[in-house]
Amino acid sequence: MQKITLLINCPDRKGIVTTITHYILQLSGNIVYLDQHVDRQESVFFMRLECEFESSEFSIPEFENQFAAKFKEDYKLTYQLYDALYRPNLALFVSKYDHCLYDLLGRYASGELPVEIPLIISNHRDLEIVAQRFNIPFKYIPVTKETKKQAEAEQIKSIQEHNIDLIVLARYMQIISDDFVANFKHQIINIHHSFLPAFIGAKPYHAAFERGVKIIGATSHYVTADLDEGPIIEQEIVRVSHVHSVQDFILKGRDLEKIVLARAIKAHIEHKVLVYGNKTVIFA
Amino acid sequence: MQKITLLINCPDRKGIVTTITHYILQLSGNIVYLDQHVDRQESVFFMRLECEFESSEFSIPEFENQFAAKFKEDYKLTYQLYDALYRPNLALFVSKYDHCLYDLLGRYASGELPVEIPLIISNHRDLEIVAQRFNIPFKYIPVTKETKKQAEAEQIKSIQEHNIDLIVLARYMQIISDDFVANFKHQIINIHHSFLPAFIGAKPYHAAFERGVKIIGATSHYVTADLDEGPIIEQEIVRVSHVHSVQDFILKGRDLEKIVLARAIKAHIEHKVLVYGNKTVIFA
Amino acid sequence: MQKITLLINCPDRKGIVTTITHYILQLSGNIVYLDQHVDRQESVFFMRLECEFESSEFSIPEFENQFAAKFKEDYKLTYQLYDALYRPNLALFVSKYDHCLYDLLGRYASGELPVEIPLIISNHRDLEIVAQRFNIPFKYIPVTKETKKQAEAEQIKSIQEHNIDLIVLARYMQIISDDFVANFKHQIINIHHSFLPAFIGAKPYHAAFERGVKIIGATSHYVTADLDEGPIIEQEIVRVSHVHSVQDFILKGRDLEKIVLARAIKAHIEHKVLVYGNKTVIFA
Amino acid sequence: MQKITLLINCPDRKGIVTTITHYILQLSGNIVYLDQHVDRQESVFFMRLECEFESSEFSIPEFENQFAAKFKEDYKLTYQLYDALYRPNLALFVSKYDHCLYDLLGRYASGELPVEIPLIISNHRDLEIVAQRFNIPFKYIPVTKETKKQAEAEQIKSIQEHNIDLIVLARYMQIISDDFVANFKHQIINIHHSFLPAFIGAKPYHAAFERGVKIIGATSHYVTADLDEGPIIEQEIVRVSHVHSVQDFILKGRDLEKIVLARAIKAHIEHKVLVYGNKTVIFA
């Protein structure tokens, strides 16, 4: 049995759900998941399908060719097709903060994240011990202003060697260059420790504390060329008050960062995130 | 029986709670509420007391003089003293949006807000009918770029005539001038329809929609010379997703605006808000 | 132009979205909203459609006959068909608490609820003045143990006279008899001031306070023969702590009751609620 | 430098904050934290103090004796005195679910929980590998209906050998006997995977799913002789809808269980939880 996940968006038109589902059905596909949404403002149609194919003759590449041939041009349709049974490879980038790392590795080790984690990359050695606890290869690649280009080249080389599907910046404190990002469109998820678009850049908890907000948040997003400006995947908040110091903001924030990053990663690996413009459609 | 509410802040020092509570006690005051907080970072002490005085000889002005004489200079203490039994006068400023107005008037009519509302001021006539439903005097004061100075003078005159203690901008769409604001330090509460400091200024729901946030919010704050920059009193959020249009953001946001504005007004009239720097201490 | 809202549920089967949408399309209907959900556990399909029909020849009763003839038996399909442009008539039942009443009437008066409110029924006279503020007919029908049967008969007579589509128990304190309920299946919405199924019955805030919960809630649900057991439509919560007295619980709870009741009413009048078993599917 | 944490409750009376703080001050104690609350309904005073003592002559046992002698009887005061610099020993009880275990061990390993974890006890062997990852002694103590008494005796023996201060039931699936509980008053924290008092006992997610709630929760509480009835320490919720299966409830619930258990443990080890009756005062 094979299973595919298909994400589609195209200009809205009459009968499109009918047409596409009928197409799957006549290929003897069994639709086990269908979610669709029409942005009526922009007249754009979005759909996510999970389809099972029993036949041993079914071939995902062939399906893709035929599907694209039939729909891509006529419907001006953009699609992403995934083997739903494939376990993606994640690379985690970390610096010195370990809370997100421990949270992700715990979820991974308990089977909650159906992924492989063949690689942890860091610009410091501090978290090597954490990688060792979980028997994950740790690569120390220091980064300075002068060595950034080479460091990133080395990172990219490792990523390619390990067939990495998703890069997770788990409180990685280095800014990723535009060149690096250009290699991985919608394949880098970052956790920013504020409720974007408030407090972009450095020390957001300190900035939030200064402003005297009553709520702090964390945001996970795809990394783009613009710092903290990429499509938002998930956000979460917690209330704060005058009794909380900056340190309290930071500690409370850490629990937000963990949950927001984890939810974003899960949505991504389940292929429930469709990026459109600078925004995301997150299927249920 | 008389009752006072006393808000205090001063540099922290040993024994201050002891000293002040002892002072009240030896005046035969009964402390029915005490909440205190020390900002250890800045070494600042904050306290709120509610005290009852049975004696017919107790005089609030006299108490104030003696309290100030004893503590103001020696402790470098800032205080605000209120007659806790006094019902404050509110003036509501509105434009065309009526949701906050209806919400506040409903709370007022049902006795939830222990205030008087002698005055509703508006730059449009549309909401006069709402004021009439609740038998509240409505003053139409149109505002244009050219007439702003006179309009504000007229507003101030009405405010003074009615002994207004608190001005509530209930989705009032005109920007208040610095001169106006200067007359009413920490006496003007505004509701801004975003989660500050994100999306300041006009059309915040549209901006939030553009950014693709997954959470929208509303913020109530004291109005200062800087637009949307004043001390935040309360914030609340609600989750949104790709299924929501800008109109949905606006409709969901209205329920936030109502509750956030109401909570801020309640906290203010109960004298639970202490402004320090550009932030607020909100006592329980 | 005519517009219908169609709610459907039936045993899941292949091609059902295709079939139904195709049916609408060949009648020249324009589907402006489609949301569907499959409960894979129970193999049940749910769908909500909003369809516009331009043709002056379109007739909703005819459409219903033909739709039923085609699908009802073959698909073992249950449906609800509504004229989407029809403004439903609401009857509000109240006792002495006025907070939900003021909240609903404010929303109604500001146009937020696209309904008519021809009738407010109460077992006390206290809230007649509120009805008068909003020019809504108020009917005082006292209820005692002995007179309950007659009182309910009088209520039903009024409801029928005014062609009431939805009965809202807005902190109405009398228990509705099974006989009464039997007349109005899924047409009575109640607000219960607890987070069901916790604290059913009387004085839930007191019970919550006794239990020392850290969160209180409110629940809106369809009234059935079993007290507080009907299908839940919406719930909301707020955090509480040791600093809050029972009275604080009650006051905080009132804001929850208002928002939860309003959301439920809106979902119902927009025909976004589908009751299945003792649960609800709430379409987006 | 020595530091104590003092939790106090007694019948409310005039000048009590004054008296106690003055007592500390004249012992040259430096009060670095003070939070107090008066339950005016029951006329009970609660206070939490953190005090530093520089003098090498200061002795915590001596302080306790003198404090008790001075206040215990006259003020009918109940107190708990802790060495604030002491790192408590935790024993974690687990069965087969590993999500809470991984979450706690991650927080412990990253230094977020200032505790020692000398012991993990389980009625299954499955999680031994997790204990090994974190180099924590794992004790397998199977439990059947017949062997329960001996199993608990063995557990208690281990707990005593390791000077355990707090027992954490981290999704431990065995019911603790009354005899066991009697040894550890307010020293056993359990995580129950529902929003108490709803859905006590087994399979709460299934029960929540059946009821069709729109919100699910988790609760941490001290274990008492009555199942799921002990004083609640913390609760948290997440919204659910018809699109969620029981399995989705369970997965979403796991993130709640982790955060609620962690918060409860932190509050406990920071001595911020005061149990009064069957409720808790949680100091800020």
- Where helices occur in chain C by DSSP H, the ranges are 16-26, 60-71, 99-109, 128-133, 148-161, 178-182, 204-211, 246-269
- Identity of the residue in A14, A25, A40 whose CB atom sits nearest the CB atom of C15: A25
Q: Which residues in chain C have their CB less than 8 angstroms from residue B109's CB? A: 98, 102, 130, 133
Contact D133 A284 (CB under 8 A): no
CA triplet A246, A251, A256: central angle to 5 degrees? Answer: 115
Q: How far apart are CA C235 and CA D217, in angstroms?
A: 13
Residue A129: what are its φ and ψ, rounded to 5°?
-65, -30
Q: Which of B17, B25, B40 minimises the CB distance to D21?
A: B17
Q: Give the Cα-Cα-Cα angle D242, D243, D245 (nearest 5 degrees).
A: 90
User: Which CA distances in Å does D211 have to C102, C282, D200, D214, D247?
Assistant: 30, 15, 14, 9, 15
DSSP state of D162: T
Q: Taking CB atoms and an 8 Å limit, are D14 and B25 in contact across chains?
A: yes
The whole-chain average pLDDT of chain B stands at 96
> What averages of pLDDT result for each successive group of 10 residues across chain C (284 residues)?
97 87 90 89 94 93 97 96 97 98 97 97 98 98 97 98 98 96 97 96 95 98 93 98 96 98 98 97 94
Task: Report the alpha-carbon distance of residue D113 to residue A99 in Å, rounded.
Answer: 12
pTM of the model: 0.96
Rounded to two decimals, the ipTM of the complex is 0.95
pLDDT digits (tens, 9 = 90+) for A90-126: 999 999 999 999 999 999 999 999 999 999 999 999 9
pLDDT at residue C14, as a whole number: 80
Structure confidence by residue, pLDDT tens digits, D175-192: 999 999 999 999 999 999
Contacts of D78 (CB under 8 A, 6+ apart): D8, D9, D10
What is the residue type of C267? A
Collapse the DSSP code of A221 into the 3-class scheme (helix H, G, I; strand E, B; otherwise coil) and give the result. strand
Give the residue-averaged pLDDT of D211-216: 98
Closest of D161, D160, D23, D2 to residue D79, by C-alpha: D23
Is C242 in the B-facing interface, judged by CB distances under 8 Å?
Answer: no
Q: Which of D33, D107, D134, D171 to mutate to test the interface with A (most CBs of A within 10 A)?
A: D107
E strand or H helix that includes residue D129: helix D128-133
**Catalytic one among C74, C83, C98, C228?**
C228
Interface size between C and D, measured as CB pairs under 8 A: 87
pLDDT at D140: 98
Domains, chain A, ranges and CATH? 2-83 (3.30.70.260), 89-282 (3.40.50.170)
For residue D197, whether the previous peptide bond is cis, meaning omega lies within 30 degrees of 0, is yes
Close Cβ partners of D166 (under 8 Å, ≥ 6 residues apart)? D88, D89, D90, D91, D115, D187, D188, D189, D265, D268, D269
Q: What is the pLDDT of residue B34?
A: 87
Whole-number Å distance between alpha carbons of D209 and D207: 5
Condensed to tens digits (0 to 9), the pLDDT of residues D99-134 reads 999 999 999 999 999 999 999 999 999 999 999 999
Give the integer Cα–Cα distance in Å for C219 and D211: 12
Instruction: Give the number of other Cβ atoms within 10 Å of residue B64's Cβ.
Output: 14
**Using CA atoms, how far apart are residues A109 and A137, in angstroms rounded to an integer?**
15
Record: contact C211-D198, CB cut-off 8 A? no
Residue of C213, C232, C277 with shortest CB distance to D213: C232
Give me the pLDDT at residue C76, please.
97
Q: Report whether pLDDT(D34) > 90.
A: no
Q: For position A227, what pLDDT does the model report?
A: 85
Once rounded to an integer, what is the mean pLDDT over residues B29-49? 91
Q: Which residues of D are catalytic?
A: 228
pLDDT at residue C17, rounded to an integer: 84
Q: How far apart, in whole angstroms, are the C-alpha atoms of residue C239 and residue C231? A: 24
**Total count of residues recorded for chain A:** 284
d(C-alpha B18, C-alpha B14), whole Å? 9
Q: What is the pLDDT of residues B101-133, one digit of tens each?
A: 999 999 999 999 999 999 999 999 999 999 999
CB count in 10 Å sphere of residue A81: 18
**Sequence-ordered list of residues with C-beta below 8 angstroms from that of A138, at least 6 positions apart, any chain:** A120, A121, A122, A127, A128, A131, A132
Question: Which residue of chain D is at minimal alpha-carbon distance from B38?
Answer: D33
What's the token pair of residue B127? 């909401």
Q: Which residue of D has its CA nearest to B40?
A: D32
